[in-house]
Amino acid sequence: MTSSTTTAGVQSGGSNSPPAAIELKGISKAFGLVQANKDVSIKVEAGSIHGIVGENGAGKSTLMSILYGFYEADEGTIHIDGNKVEIKNSNDAIAAGIGMVHQHFMLVDTFTVLENVMMGAESGALLRDSVVAARRELERLEKEYALHVDPDALASDLPVGQLQRVEILKALYRGARILILDEPTGVLTPQETDQLFRILGALKDQGVTIILITHKLREIMDVTDNVEVMRHGKMVAHRVTAETSKEELAELMVGRKMRTDLQKQDAKPGDVALVVENLTVRDGYGIAKVDNVSFEVKAGEIVGVAGVSGNGQSELLEALSGITPIDDGRIIYDGTDITPSRPTDPAAVRHMSVGHVPEDRQRLGMITNFEAWESSILGHQRSPEFQKGLFLDPHTVKTHCKSLMEQFDVRPPTPDIKSANFSGGNQQKLILAREIERNPKVLLVGQPTRGVDIGAIEFIHRQLVELRDKGGAVLLISVELDEVMTLADRILVMFEGRIVAQVAGDKADERMLGLMMANAMTDENSNEVSA
């Protein structure tokens, strides 16, 4: 039992420390020719928060899927609390005390929180007994970990932050002592992220072991005790969080020095390219999601829209791109008016030289079942350059796709691969390539780097600035404050569908934007900063 602890001499614990909560030894896993994990070994101390960072496709999710029983490793062993275990499916994992909170929630919308939590773990044939038992257990968990969720609320009525708590509760309800969180903050607002981290702290205090997978280095620095860095399927470094820095981790992840700051010149705004006047968009219930919004974007500038997600940014983007009809006000592109009585559609908007990189690339920006060359002309499928008589010309389209891939460093640069099989960053680069390639007068961009690895983020940012410098008007909607502050020449802050503040890009700081996003700025303060 003690033999396993002596192997890692760098650990601060002595030889009489308890066995690691999880120890993976020599895990290898290949998918066809792709070696997703190669001789990976990690050791996670009980009651610690252990971060795993790495670029997209570095093998983090595969490793966790092996631990959770979705895949079987080709080689290697898993030890829980010092005992070797076989995990062939998720039931084995749950039995071993492992719980997983997926990036995409696995909840039934029409069930209540209580029903979701007990689903699959009902205690008997009669539902009523289970409900009573589950409610009691839920109350206990709530008290113990400060995890408050209304047990009778419908899942569909809850914001994402709460849904995530339900996922955590689900795992704990099944007796998890080890919790794996896969990119948990991807969908959260900064406030929700803070709350999540408080919860993780409470869990840790109660002795729960947590594995946190993320690309966000700040989160690693904030909450973890130890951190592993993965690159190309291999574990390349282990650090005690307190003894490392964001910069060092970033370098380890990408394997090279990277610039932390994007160099860009001052904007040279030209003519107005996009005017939005008193724009209002209502949802199916008549609630104004975009509420009387007015702004303009000039050629040669990047206007950032900051805001906590869910404050009307998505609706604004869909209205501007012609996907949803507008209810009031008007949008003017290059002299063409779009009003409720003169609606438009995405094809028409594209014809006005407007590019659109949508927020949700997999559900909107590409068709994952299409091969990359097919996705590379989505929106331009009727363009004459791709036709030969009545027919689409695959040769021309593939050549075109190949050149886009080379210009935008899409890896692998192979047009015949299914769109779904590219990593998030490469999918995004392909979409960006498609939308930027025609030098649009206006580019609408939503969350350009969500779920994208650091190397690709830098590349994408540079492309946006380049388009600006060529005279494109860019409207950037992002929940990443860093991103908005890095890129935008002017920043608009959205709150509950309205634009509550406007500030010059170089005058903004995180604290100020945070206050604006929460609409907590006092009047004097906001007057001070309005441009």
Partner 1 sequence: MSASPVKPLPRWIDVGLIPVLNILMALFVSGLIIFAIGEDPWEAVKIMAYGALGFDEGIGYTLYYTTNFIFTGLAVAVAFHTGLFNIGGEGQAYIGGLGVGLFLLAFDTAMPIWLLLPLGIVVAGLFGAAWAAVPAYLQAYRGSHIVITTIMFNFIAAALMVYLMVNILIKPGQMSPQSVTFDKQSHLPFMSDVFGWFGMEIARTPLNITVFWAIICCFGLWAFIWRTKWGYETRAVGYNERAAVYGGVDPKRTIMIAMFISGGLAGFVGLNEIMGVHHKLLLNFTAGYGFTGIAVSLMGRNHPVGIVLASLLFGILYQGGAELAFEMPSITREMVVTIQGLVILFSGALAYMSVPWVSKIYNYLAADKPVAVEGEA
Write out the residues near partner 1 by the rule CB under 8 A.
31-32, 69-72, 74, 88-89, 321, 323, 345-348, 350, 356, 358, 363-370, 374, 378-379, 381-382, 386-387, 390-392, 394
Q: Least distance (Å) from partner 1 to the CB of residue 105? A: 18
Rank residues 317 and 500 by Cβ distance to partner 1 and give the closer one: 317
Distance between start and end Cα atoms, the chain: 66
**Minimal distance, residue 398 CB to partner 1, in Å:** 13
- Please, which residue, 239 or 356, has the CB nearer to partner 1? 356
Least separation in angstroms between CB 106 and partner 1: 13
* Nearest distance in Å: CB 387, partner 1: 7
In the complex, the smallest distance separating the C-beta of residue 381 from partner 1, rounded to whole angstroms, is 5
Q: Is 205 helix (H, G, I), strand (E, B) or coil?
A: helix
User: Quick one: 278 or 381, whose CB is closer to partner 1?
Assistant: 381
Taking CA atoms, 523 is separated from 305, 461, 508, in Å, by 20, 33, 17
Strands (E) located in 404-460? 442-446
SS3 content of the chain, % helix, strand, coil (to 5): 35, 25, 40
Q: What H or E segment, with its residue span, contains residue 89?
A: none
CB 60 to partner 1: min, Å: 17
Strand, helix or coil for residue 413: coil
What are the structure tokens assigned to 378, written together?
Answer: 């989505």
CB of 452 to partner 1, least distance (A): 19
Structure tokens at 185: 């903050």
Query: Could you tell me the smallest distance in angstroms from the CB atom of residue 390 to partner 1?
Result: 6
In this structure, the number of other CB atoms found within 10 A of the CB of residue 278 comes to 11
**Cα separation, 240 vs 116, whole angstroms:** 37
**Rounded-to-integer distance, Cα 455 and Cα 415, Å:** 22
Nearer to partner 1, 278 or 369 (CB): 369
Q: CB-wise, 310 or 346, nearer to partner 1?
A: 346
Shortest CB 137 distance to partner 1, Å: 29
Nearer to partner 1, 198 or 438 (CB): 438
The residue among 105 and 386 lying less far from partner 1, judged by its C-beta, is: 386
Say how far apart CA 195 and CA 148 lie, in whole Å: 11
In the bound state with partner 1, the residue whose beta carbon lies nearer, of 9 and 32, is 32
CA nearest to 59, candidates 33, 37, 86: 37
Instruction: Look up residue 342 and give its DSSP letter.
Output: B
Which CB atom, from 351 or from 507, has the smaller least distance to partner 1? 351
Q: Which is nearer to partner 1, 123 or 387 (CB)?
A: 387
Dihedral angle, C-alpha 80, 86, 87, 89, nearest 10 °? -150
Residue 195, both tokens: 């709350």
Least distance between partner 1 and beta carbon 30 (Å): 9
Closest C-alpha among 7, 69, 81, 2 to residue 44: 81
Give exposure, 177-197, as e/b (b: 16+ Cβ within 10 Å): bbbbbbbbbbbbbbebbebbb
**Token pair in block for residue 219:** 């989160």
Residue type, 138: L
